[in-house]
């Protein structure tokens, strides 16, 4: 049985090692039951208010008047450095600027657009699953959970066919490079590519996100090219990293909960409910950061303008006041108003697409594979931005095949 040691001060939640602990949810529950909001002193990020309850997640993320995104929506830039893109990138703006930027690209993420993409996603997914079935072993992260979202994001952004291999190679290194330095360098190479494509699309626009961002106006003014491309980059990274970590962590969870894998193959299984539960369970976007704009109060504590408040998503998504029996993976859970996609004005713009991608993946896997066997210990990615794996080596055993 897991045991948690409770101390008067919370453990350092900004250390990825905490999230890799077997008892992290138990520790969070004990803390939350004692207080939903904790003040944490950290070495790299300075003092932080840590919100651990579902109610506080809604209160903080739902109120852009009190809690701003402009000084960053993620930890990692240290105490007093605003991130690149602050005030320019959709995720790092407050209303009304945020509304204008989001409105520009929203049509690409509408229910109708996502429905149009469903068949394409299903085809791509069946292909990667078929290839994996034929292999002795497969890296689930690289070959299954990254491949489809990356191709779909290239489609939506408007990466021309002739550039696909090059872009996929750069993204592979940017997302899956062996060292943080290699990833950062590969990411740096993506930006000039997006820049040159943006220039081409200014004079020859198509029906895609890059063309929209480089040609449309916001309040009568064209977005400067660097702002347009920062937003493309944000959408590309947002659309690939989160889906791949969710798919991977969900797969790992299903190998550890065979009853849930089995439930997915039974009559009456509702993939929409199943995906919501996998999103709640995995909560890979570990945190969302805000900065208080004004002196205010939260959970009876005085928060000063400039204080940073972190909503810890996995804690909110296991809050027993919102979720009955929160530590059980129940694929038929309803209602399931999890905050894995955030809450309020910055609610994930790609949520409908992510849902389609995840439903398609687990539909194709359960249809084709009897079981998925983990061949080697999973390699954690040690990140507090998207908590996942760098690699998960598996073998897919075909349905009706001989093991």
Tell me: does residue 274 bind ligand HEM (CB under 6 A).
Answer: no
CA distance 234 to 85: 9
List all residues 6 or more positions away from 53 whose beta carbon is below 8 Å from its beta carbon.
Answer: 32, 36, 37, 299, 315, 316, 319, 321
Q: Which stretch binds ligand HEM (CB under 6 A): 111-119, 135-143, 212-220, 283-291?
A: 283-291
Closest distance of CB 227 from ligand HEM, Å: 14
Task: Give the nearest distance from C-beta 361 to ligand HEM in angstroms.
Answer: 11
Residues 180-199 touching ligand HEM, rule: CB under 6 A, are: none
- Interface with ligand HEM (CB under 6 A), residue from 10, 85, 158, 239: 239
Q: 189 and 271 in contact (C-beta within 8 Å)? A: no
The 10 Å CB-count burial string (b at 16+, else e) for 268-298 is: ebebebbbbbbbbbbbbbbbbbbbbbeebeb
Q: Which stretch, 6-14, 219-227, 298-306, 338-346, contacts ligand HEM (CB under 6 A)?
A: 338-346
**CA-CA distance, 348 to 91, in Å (whole number)?**
9
148 vs 94, 122, 321, 344, 384, CA distance in Å?
Answer: 31, 9, 36, 28, 24
Do the beta carbons of residue 55 and residue 31 sit within 8 Å? Answer: no
Q: What angle do CA 360, 168, 376 make, to 5 degrees?
A: 65
Q: For residue 37, which of 336, 335, 296 has the smallest C-alpha distance?
A: 296
How are beta strands 46-51 and 308-312 bridged, if at all? parallel
User: How distant, in Å, are the alpha carbons of 26, 260, 305, 386, 390 from that of 336?
Assistant: 21, 17, 33, 21, 29
* Sole window of 27-35, 242-250, 330-338, 359-367 interacting with ligand HEM (rule: CB under 6 A): 242-250
Residues numbered 246 to 265 that lie near ligand HEM (CB under 6 A) are: 246
| Part of the chain binding ligand HEM (CB under 6 A), chosen from 162-170, 172-180, 219-227, 349-357 | 349-357
341 touches ligand HEM (CB under 6 A): yes
Task: Find where tokens 């204008």 sit.
Answer: 100
The Cβ of residue 354 has, within 10 Å, a number of other Cβ atoms equal to 23
Please give the Cα distance from 341 to 276 (Å, whole number).
10
Q: Which is nearer to ligand HEM, 138 or 246 (CB)?
A: 246
Helix (H, G, I), strand (E, B) or coil at 259: helix
Residue with the CB atom nearest ligand HEM in the bound state: 350
Beta carbon of residue 240, minimum distance to ligand HEM (angstroms, whole number): 8
Check binding of 104 to ligand HEM (CB under 6 A).
no
Tell me which of 117, 288, 359, 389 binds ligand HEM, using CB under 6 A.
288
Given the complex with ligand HEM, which of 240 and 371 has the nearer CB atom? 240
Judged by CB under 6 A, which of 36, 158, 350, 388 binds ligand HEM?
Answer: 350
Verify cis geometry, omega within 30 degrees of 0, for the bond prior to 335: yes
Smallest separation, CB 344 to ligand HEM (Å) = 7
Q: Does 348 bind ligand HEM (CB under 6 A)?
A: yes
- Quick one: which of 129, 235, 252, 329 contacts ligand HEM (CB under 6 A)? 235
Going residue by residue from 68 to 87, which x/- string records binding to ligand HEM, judged by CB under 6 A? -x---x--------------
Tell me the C-alpha distance between 245 and 165, whole Å. 22
Q: Which of 233, 371 has the CB closer to ligand HEM?
A: 233
Instruction: Pick the closest to residue 217 from 230, 204, 228 (CA basis).
Output: 228
Q: Of these, 37, 121, 190, 353, which contacts ligand HEM (CB under 6 A)?
A: 353
Told to check if 102 binds ligand HEM by CB under 6 A, we report yes
Among 26, 50, 170, 349, binds ligand HEM (CB under 6 A): 349
Smallest distance, ligand HEM to C-beta of residue 299, A: 19
- Does 146 participate in binding ligand HEM (rule CB under 6 A)? no
Q: How far is the CB of 248 from ligand HEM (least distance, A)?
A: 11
- Pairing assessment for the beta strands 379-380 and 221-222 based on DSSP bridges: unpaired
Q: Is the dihedral of CA 62, 63, 69, 72 positive or negative?
A: negative
Q: Which of the stretches 22-30, 40-48, 51-59, 348-356 binds ligand HEM when contact is defined by CB under 6 A?
A: 348-356
Binding site for ligand HEM (CB under 6 A): 61, 69, 73, 90-91, 102, 234-235, 238-239, 242-243, 246, 284-285, 288, 340-342, 346, 348-350, 353-354
């Amino acid at each position: 049985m897991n045991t948690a040691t409770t101390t008067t001060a919370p453990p350092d939640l900004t250390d990825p090692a905490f999230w890799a602990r077997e008892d992290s949810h138990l520790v969070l529950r004990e803390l939350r039951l004692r207080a939903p909001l904790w003040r944490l002193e950290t070495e790299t990020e300075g003092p932080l208010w840590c919100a651990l309850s579902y109610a506080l997640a809604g209160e903080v993320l739902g109120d852009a008047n009190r809690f701003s995104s402009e000084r960053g929506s993620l930890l990692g830039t240290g105490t007093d450095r605003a991130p690149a893109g602050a005030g320019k990138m959709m995720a790092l703006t407050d209303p009304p600027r945020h509304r204008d930027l989001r409105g520009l690209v929203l049509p690409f993420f509408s229910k109708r657009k996502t429905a149009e993409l469903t068949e394409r996603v299903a085809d791509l997914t069946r292909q990667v699953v078929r290839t994996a079935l034929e292999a002795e072993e497969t890296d689930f992260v690289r070959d299954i959970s990254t491949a489809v979202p990356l191709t779909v994001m290239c489609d939506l952004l408007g990466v021309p066919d002739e550039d696909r291999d090059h872009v996929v190679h750069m993204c592979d290194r940017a997302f899956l490079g062996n060292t943080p330095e290699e990833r950062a360098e590969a990411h740096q190479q993506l930006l000039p590519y997006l820049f040159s494509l943006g220039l081409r699309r200014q004079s020859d626009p198509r029906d895609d996100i890059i063309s929209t961002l480089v040609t449309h106006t916001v309040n009568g003014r064209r977005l400067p090219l660097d702002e347009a491309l920062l937003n493309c980059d944000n959408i590309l990274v947002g659309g690939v990293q989160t889906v791949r970590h969710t798919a991977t962590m969900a797969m790992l969870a299903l190998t550890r909960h065979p009853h849930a894998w089995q439930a997915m193959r039974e009559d009456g299984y509702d993939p929409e409910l199943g995906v919501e539960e996998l999103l709640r369970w995995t909560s890979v976007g570990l945190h969302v950061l805000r900065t208080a704009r004004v002196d205010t109060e939260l959970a009876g504590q005085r928060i000063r303008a400039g204080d940073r408040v972190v909503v810890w998503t996995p804690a909110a998504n296991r809050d027993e006041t919102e979720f009955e029996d929160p530590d059980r993976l129940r694929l038929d859970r309803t209602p399931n108003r999890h905050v894995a996609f955030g809450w309020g004005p910055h609610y994930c713009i790609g949520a409908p697409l992510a849902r389609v991608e995840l439903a398609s993946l687990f539909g194709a896997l359960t249809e084709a594979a009897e079981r998925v066997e983990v061949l080697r210990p999973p390699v954690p990615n040690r990140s507090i931005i998207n908590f996942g794996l760098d690699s998960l080596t598996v073998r897919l055993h075909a349905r009706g095949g001989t093991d």
